[in-house]
Structure 1
Amino acid sequence: MAEEDDHKRTIKYGESAISYIKKNTLPAYPRSYELWYTYSAGYNQGLNRAINETLKTNGRVSTDEMLTLYGRFLSPTRLGDRLDEVGSKVSKEVEELVDSLQLSADATSDYGQALEKASAKIKTVTDASKLQTYVTHLVKSTQKAVTSNRKLESQLLESKKQIETLQSSLEAIRYESLTDELTTLNNRKHFENSIERLVDQFHESGRGFALVLTDIDHFKAFNDTYGHQTGDQVLRLVALAVKQNVKSEDIACRYGGEEFAILLPNVSTKDAAEIGERIRLAVMSKELVKRSTGENLGRVTISVGIATYRDMDTAHSIVARADKALYAAKGDGRNLVRTEQDIDDTEEEKVA
């Protein structure tokens, strides 16, 4: 069922991408398809805003504009280039710090040698003027060492600030790579990493988890009727309902175009169903108003499917069961919560 659903959904995105390529009379490069597929799926809010602005201004997207947009939002090297830039800055900062430490070490060594020589000479000197000369030389060496240490201290403080700034840049890049820009929830990549980690944790500690999948009912028709911007508003509304009904240790993600996934560590099927129900009611309770016109668009509903991790499960198998429960909710009339237990009970009734 999960594979069949992925097939149907991705075929729609693919057909939409081809129609945009034809409409804008663009060459059917692989990157053309990727750009318009991403636009149709709505994964990249920055890309969608830029394309919508270009369409509003020019009426179409030219080949040059398309390539520019691809390089700006989708190029595989975009995050890599930023990581390389930060890495180069870190390397430069470390090199400068090592040089400063080496100079300080040399200065300390010179000062130590000067102290040893002065100590040896002072022990044998009897002439007061010579003693004064040695003491003056020793004071100058001490002042030089103090100046060198202060310079190193200043350099260390500056390097600390620079490294903290670079660390913030790395955190920002990491956040961007794992966050859905439109909803600010975790993205599909984060979901896949997290569910694999939870599966591993189960094998190590026996700590299970529940998976909640939600899908916005009739979203494509809504999107086609009111436009992508209003569709984005719906996605934000659902994302907000999700955020308000999960705990800090839960992992809420935008799973696909209009699908959301929530990983609930150490939560039973019953408790997960209650959380799914709260999210469903929260979404349904909101009346949607079109910002540009003030038009009341009514209410949006979601269908919810839930599965709980079982011994010998894989990430794929638990997703498949949650997806099956989700489709049961849609098949039973939508705007419902169904769990894998509902599916099991139905199958038992059919056998009986």
Structure 2
Amino acid sequence: MTRTDEFERSIAYGEAALTYLKGNRTPAYPRNYELWYVYAAGFNRELNKAVNEALKRLGHLPEELTQRFYDEFLSPVRLSDRVGEVSTRVSRELDQIINLLEESGGNAESYGASLRSAADILGSAGTKQQIRTALEKVIAATVSMERYNSALEKQLKESRVQITELQESLEAIRYESLTDQLTGLANRKHFDQSLERAIDVAARRGEPLSLVLCDIDHFKKFNDTYGHQTGDQVLRLVGAAIKSTVKGRDLAARYGGEEFGIILPNTSLEAGVTVANQIRSAVMAKELIKRSTGESLGRITMSAGVATLRPLESRDSLIERADACLYASKHNGRNRVTSEAELDPSTSSAVA
């Protein structure tokens, strides 16, 4: 995507956000603008679903609902609060386990003392009654220790279950923070972090690293014609097609709007072009059906660009070269893949 395309798209989302603010008579505070901008862009599936349901029910979005939806779906505090809550619960469980183990140590020491006392009695016992008393003391201490160990085992099992559930909760939060809700692919944050790591690994190991950037053809026109809900359906369809094609160490992400990025570790330029064409074919093979009417809306096509990491190259430079290849695909008729090997100097300078 060129800077001009990105500028025009962001302005379109911004103008739509202002229209929503005016239509709902919502004060144009930054957080309210952010909510409607994200809604217009379709970046947050759950937010759009909640807003659409409220609009259907009420006809507009009251300010109190706007604030609630922002806090629920967009506020950066929300994720940190959830992580903090789970971390507190983990700490509580660990403290409980430590207390149990300390108590277990005290009981074991008490049991040892009981055994030593019984041994002393047996050593000096002169009658059957004294021997019996010593044995009864050993048996009573052993039964008590068995009961305590049984209770301790039960409590430790329960704590283990709790900690496993909390670990799963943290993993779910981590997954959510790195995943695009609409497509199920990695989000931009995950993409940026993963590309930095992949570049570092490729440089250290001397392996090739290819990057594919692809973009849905005529998506804005499609979105304007059929509406955001159908546009979301297109994005989900494309996400599923990409996910079914990308394997192993490769990472697919929703790079922004209708643009996607695929990181291909240990992959040559030629192999990267093959993957890009597989994605393009997988997307084009799916027919889009409008759910509300069953009407066929035809097939979706994608354009893609592929570049391979150069020595000492930065992340931004690699992205820029893949983006130049994507622009060339758009410029030369769409529904095609262009590799950096195909670019001529005039095309490269036009993109820059």
C-alpha separation between the residues in 2 aligned to 1:154 and 1:304? Answer: 57
Is 2:216 aligned against 1:216? yes
Worse-superposed segment, 24-33 or 125-134: 125-134
C-alpha separation between the residues in 1 aligned to 2:124 and 2:164? Answer: 53
Letter paired with 1:135? L
Per the TM alignment, residue 281 of structure 1 is displaced from its structure 2 partner at its CA by 2.0
**Equivalent residue number for residue 51 of structure 1:** 51
Letter paired with 1:278? Q
Q: Deviations over 1:69-107 (max 9, x none)?
A: 101100111111111121121111111111111111111
Q: Deviations over 1:309-336 (max 9, x none)?
A: 1111111111111111111111112112
Aligned ranges for residues 24-173 of structure 1 at < 5 Å?
24-173=24-173
Describe the shift of the 1:178–1:18 C-alpha distance in structure 2 as closer, same or farther (beyond 3 A).
same
C-alpha separation between the residues in 2 aligned to 1:169 and 1:233? Answer: 28
C-alpha separation between the residues in 2 aligned to 1:266 and 1:8? Answer: 35
**Equivalent residue number for residue 331 of structure 1:** 331
Per the TM alignment, residue 301 of structure 1 is displaced from its structure 2 partner at its CA by 1.2
Aligned ranges for residues 184-223 of structure 1 at < 5 Å?
184-223=184-223
Describe the shift of the 1:82–1:349 C-alpha distance in structure 2 as closer, same or farther (beyond 3 A).
closer
Letter paired with 1:299? R
Letter paired with 1:334? R
1:278 counterpart SS class: helix
Contact 1:31–1:70 (Cα < 8 Å) also in 2? yes
Structure 2 length as normaliser, TM-score? 0.95
C-alpha separation between the residues in 2 aligned to 1:348 and 1:147? Answer: 78
Describe the shift of the 1:98–1:321 C-alpha distance in structure 2 as closer, same or farther (beyond 3 A).
same
Q: Deviations over 1:208-239 (max 9, x none)?
A: 31111111111111111101111011111211
C-alpha separation between the residues in 2 aligned to 1:347 and 1:337? Answer: 15
Is 2:6 aligned against 1:20? no
2:334 counterpart SS class: coil
Contact 1:198–1:209 (Cα < 8 Å) also in 2? yes
For these two proteins, the number of residue pairs brought into alignment is 350
**Equivalent residue number for residue 177 of structure 1:** 177
Contact 2:202–2:265 (Cα < 8 Å) also in 1? no
Per the TM alignment, residue 344 of structure 1 is displaced from its structure 2 partner at its CA by 4.1
Contact 1:217–1:302 (Cα < 8 Å) also in 2? yes
C-alpha separation between the residues in 2 aligned to 1:348 and 1:218? Answer: 23
Per the TM alignment, residue 302 of structure 1 is displaced from its structure 2 partner at its CA by 1.1
Aligned ranges for residues 269-288 of structure 1 at < 5 Å?
269-288=269-288
Letter paired with 1:61? L
Aligned ranges for residues 206-245 of structure 1 at < 5 Å?
206-245=206-245
Contact 1:2–1:320 (Cα < 8 Å) also in 2? no
Letter paired with 2:96? E
C-alpha separation between the residues in 2 aligned to 1:25 and 1:349? Answer: 46
Contact 1:2–1:319 (Cα < 8 Å) also in 2? no
C-alpha separation between the residues in 1 aligned to 2:330 and 2:34? Answer: 30
Per the TM alignment, residue 45 of structure 1 is displaced from its structure 2 partner at its CA by 0.3
Per the TM alignment, residue 349 of structure 1 is displaced from its structure 2 partner at its CA by 12
C-alpha separation between the residues in 2 aligned to 1:23 and 1:324? Answer: 39
C-alpha separation between the residues in 2 aligned to 1:246 and 1:308? Answer: 17
Contact 2:324–2:348 (Cα < 8 Å) also in 1? no
Contact 1:198–1:208 (Cα < 8 Å) also in 2? no
RMSD in angstroms over aligned alpha carbons?
Answer: 1.9
1:241 counterpart SS class: helix
Is 2:297 aligned against 1:294? no
Per the TM alignment, residue 2 of structure 1 is displaced from its structure 2 partner at its CA by 5.3
Letter paired with 1:190? H
Letter paired with 1:65? L
C-alpha separation between the residues in 1 aligned to 2:33 and 2:23? Answer: 13
Describe the shift of the 1:2–1:315 C-alpha distance in structure 2 as closer, same or farther (beyond 3 A).
farther
C-alpha separation between the residues in 1 aligned to 2:25 and 2:219? Answer: 28
Per the TM alignment, residue 345 of structure 1 is displaced from its structure 2 partner at its CA by 6.2
C-alpha separation between the residues in 1 aligned to 2:307 and 2:47? Answer: 34
Worse-superposed segment, 202-211 or 102-111: 202-211
Describe the shift of the 1:4–1:223 C-alpha distance in structure 2 as closer, same or farther (beyond 3 A).
closer
C-alpha separation between the residues in 1 aligned to 2:220 and 2:2? Answer: 19
Letter paired with 1:130? Q
2:245 counterpart SS class: coil
C-alpha separation between the residues in 2 aligned to 1:349 and 1:331? Answer: 13
2:256 counterpart SS class: coil
Letter paired with 2:186? N
Per the TM alignment, residue 244 of structure 1 is displaced from its structure 2 partner at its CA by 2.1
Letter paired with 2:310? R
C-alpha separation between the residues in 1 aligned to 2:314 and 2:342? Answer: 21
2:310 counterpart SS class: coil
Contact 1:308–1:318 (Cα < 8 Å) also in 2? yes
Q: Deviations over 1:125-170 (max 9, x none)?
A: 2122122111111211111111111111111111111111111111
C-alpha separation between the residues in 1 aligned to 2:349 and 2:69? Answer: 54
